[in-house]
Every structure is written in structure tokens, then in C-alpha cells.
């Protein structure tokens, strides 16, 4: 995130918007990842669609890594077990909170849903607070 590339950001945003709109049109539901995972676990009637959508995300990442490897060049500040634990906690929190950042942030806010806009505001405040506390008290500034 050290150099901003508006063209690739615009293309990525358009693709996310198109995928979200297609999911809403085809399934009649918001395109939230935690909801899709829940559909798969609970064997919801449209769980097969959710499986293919999530597989598309994973294989799309592999394809992007093949075509443009620099796009996914990420250095985590935590070891892998910490990253996995953080992901599980986020998943649990999103289920507890009635939706994830993708469902609320992309679809809900795009449809001007007040509950989603409130959820996104809470996500942002908590994320900024957590990052500030971690960097200043536990990890240290990654860019000294």
C-alpha cells in the first residue's frame, strides 16, 4: 500500500461491484462471505452456489498471483498461527454481529442500509483502535 494505482483500484472496485450485483440479482441476498460460509456449514438450499462463489474467490487469487505476483506480496506482522486465529475471531465476530465487512460494507452501504452503515462505522473505529493499540504497545511501529 505504498503506491496508489488508481486504474487497478478502479478495475478491482468495478469487479467487486459487478460480482455483488450479480449475487444479489441471482440469489436475492447480499454478497457477504460470512453468510456464504454459514450457508455451506448449515447446508442452506443455495449452499452449492456459495461453494462455487468462494472457490472463484480462491482461484481468482491464484490466477492473480500467477498474472501479477506483486499484487499479493504481503508481509504479515504475526506468525501464521496468529493470522489464522485472527481470521477465526473475525469470522466468529461477524456471525455474532449479523454480517461481515463485505456484506455490510459493499452491499449494505451500497443500498444505503442504515444498519450496515452503522456496522461499518463500528468496524472502522474498532479496527483503528486495535491497530493503534497493537502498534504502540505490543508490536511497535513497522515503519521506523
Per-residue pLDDT, 125: 92
Length of the chain: 144
Residue 1: pLDDT over 60: no
Decide if pLDDT at 96 tops 90. Answer: no
pLDDT bucket at 7, cuts 50 / 70 / 90: confident
- Higher pLDDT among residues 106 and 144, named by residue: 106
Q: Could you give the angle at the alpha carbon of 105 between the alpha carbons of 140 and 41, nearest 5°?
A: 95
Cβ proximity of 27 and 49 under 8 Å: yes
Cell numbers representing residue 143 in the block: 515503519
Q: What's the rounded Cα separation, in Å, for the pair 62 and 67?
A: 9
Instruction: Cell numbers for 135, please give them.
Output: 502498534
* Cell numbers describing residue 111: 443500498
Amino acid at each position: 500500500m505504498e503506491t496508489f494505482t488508481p486504474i487497478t483500484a478502479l478495475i478491482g472496485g468495478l469487479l467487486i461491484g459487478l460480482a455483488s450485483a450479480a449475487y444479489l440479482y441471482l440469489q436475492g441476498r447480499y454478497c457477504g462471505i460470512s453468510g456464504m460460509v454459514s450457508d455451506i456449514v448449515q447446508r442452506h438450499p443455495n449452499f452449492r452456489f456459495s461453494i462455487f462463489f468462494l472457490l472463484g474467490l480462491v482461484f481468482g487469487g491464484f490466477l492473480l498471483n500467477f498474472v501479477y505476483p506483486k499484487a499479493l506480496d504481503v508481509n504479515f506482522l504475526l506468525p501464521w498461527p496468529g493470522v489464522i486465529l485472527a481470521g477465526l475471531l473475525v469470522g466468529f465476530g461477524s456471525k455474532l454481529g449479523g454480517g461481515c465487512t463485505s456484506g455490510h460494507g459493499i452491499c449494505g452501504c451500497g443500498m444505503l442500509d442504515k444498519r450496515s452503515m452503522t456496522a461499518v462505522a463500528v468496524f472502522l473505529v474498532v479496527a483503528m483502535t486495535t491497530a493503534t493499540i497493537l502498534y504502540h504497545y505490543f508490536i511497535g511501529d513497522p515503519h521506523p
